[in-house]
Homo-oligomer: A and B are copies of this chain.
């Protein structure tokens, strides 16, 4: 098998990141596969997009695993380090799977939405833990803080796309801006 199903997903994500409205023919070409073959793997366009959505959510979950989010929530320790690690790790994921954040079908599929809510709920738990520990101010709604992270990731993405900032500066800028603001 020259091109595996997993490779198709990867390359489709890459291409859709640059051309969010690409057709199946375009995606097939970018994946190095004939259009018919693409349809053999994913009967419909929707099926493909959903598969890409799952891939993105897997990467998201992996971030939670790698930074030890569960442990931090269970023990209530190292919440600050965990928060910082989460933010930085999000940059990588968002860069790779960013299109999933804006893709409409991903926000429609009930199972994907539920999965996203689960993942988001854990991050909100972390935010609340940080607020209790005095790491984050407690006068902001946790969900607003969570959405702030999302918005700042959009800013990172946009800044990189336009060449406003260097790739290596983004973790610092994100952390600084998120935690201490701009004034």
Contacts and interface: CB of A to CB of B under 8 A. Distances in A.
B135 A173 contact: no
Interface stretch (A48-56, A58-66, A139-147): A139-147
Nearest to A152: B151
Given A135-B183, A145-B182, A150 B140 contact: no
Secondary structure type dominating chain A contacts? helix
Place the interface of chain A in its size category: 35 or more
A177 to B, nearest CB: 6
A102 B102 contact: yes
A110 interface: no
A119 interface: no
A183 B147 contact: no
Interface stretch (A4-12, A31-39, A68-76, A157-165): A157-165
A180 interface: yes
25 contacts: A21-B104, A140-B173, A140-B176, A141-B164, A143-B162, A144-B173, A144-B177, A147-B164, A148-B152, A148-B177, A150-B154, A150-B155, A150-B158, A151-B151, A151-B152, A151-B156, A152-B152, A154-B154, A177-B181, A178-B181, A178-B182, A179-B181, A179-B183, A180-B180, A180-B181
Q: Report, nearest first, the 5 A-B pairs whose CB atoms are least far apart.
A: A151-B155, A181-B181, A151-B151, A143-B164, A179-B183
